[in-house]
Amino acid sequence: MDKVEVYQAALRRLSEATAAAQAVVRVVTEGARALARWQEVMVSNVSGGGYPAEVVNRNAPGINAREWLSAEAIHNVLVAFHDARVAVVHAWGAIPQERRVGLAPPPAWPN
């Protein structure tokens, strides 16, 4: 694989890793929004006892436990993102200046 192809493959992996991280952020953000109403929120798809009939409210915010990753899985998603980001920067650096014409540089990231 030539250096430009390596860079393009690294960009694809970064795009996939970014999408995975954004999916985690979506689930956690929605969960945080639901938990802001913690007195009403219901968690579904978990083992164990259910809620008393007196508190079940179909209009209450909910959290689907099947969407949640473990802390270790969230860690792995974030590590994959950072690994992909570094790979893109390294692949870009390996491309000679004259071969970069027409290629977009790596995305800029906040530090």
Instruction: Give the whole-angstrom CA distance, residue 45 versus residue 24.
Output: 18
Number of domains in the chain: 1
Average pLDDT of the residues in 21-31 = 96
| Cβ atoms < 10 Å from Cβ of 17 | 21
pLDDT at 89 over 80: yes
Q: For residue 53, tell me if it sits in a domain.
A: yes
- The chain-wide mean pLDDT, for the chain, equals 92
* Residues 6 or more apart whose Cβ sits within 8 Å of residue 103: 4, 7, 95
Is the confidence at residue 82, as pLDDT, over 90? yes
Q: Establish if 18 belongs to a structural domain.
A: yes
Indicate whether 106 belongs to any domain: no
In a domain, residue 103? The reply is no
Q: Is residue 68 part of a domain?
A: yes
Q: Is 105 inside any structural domain?
A: no
**pTM score, two decimals?**
0.85
Structural domain of residue 34, as residue ranges?
3-97
Q: Note whether residue 33 is domain-resident.
A: yes
pLDDT at 110 over 90: no
Distance of CA 68 to the CA centre of its chain: 12
- pLDDT of residue 79 exceeding 70: yes
In a domain, 111, yes or no: no
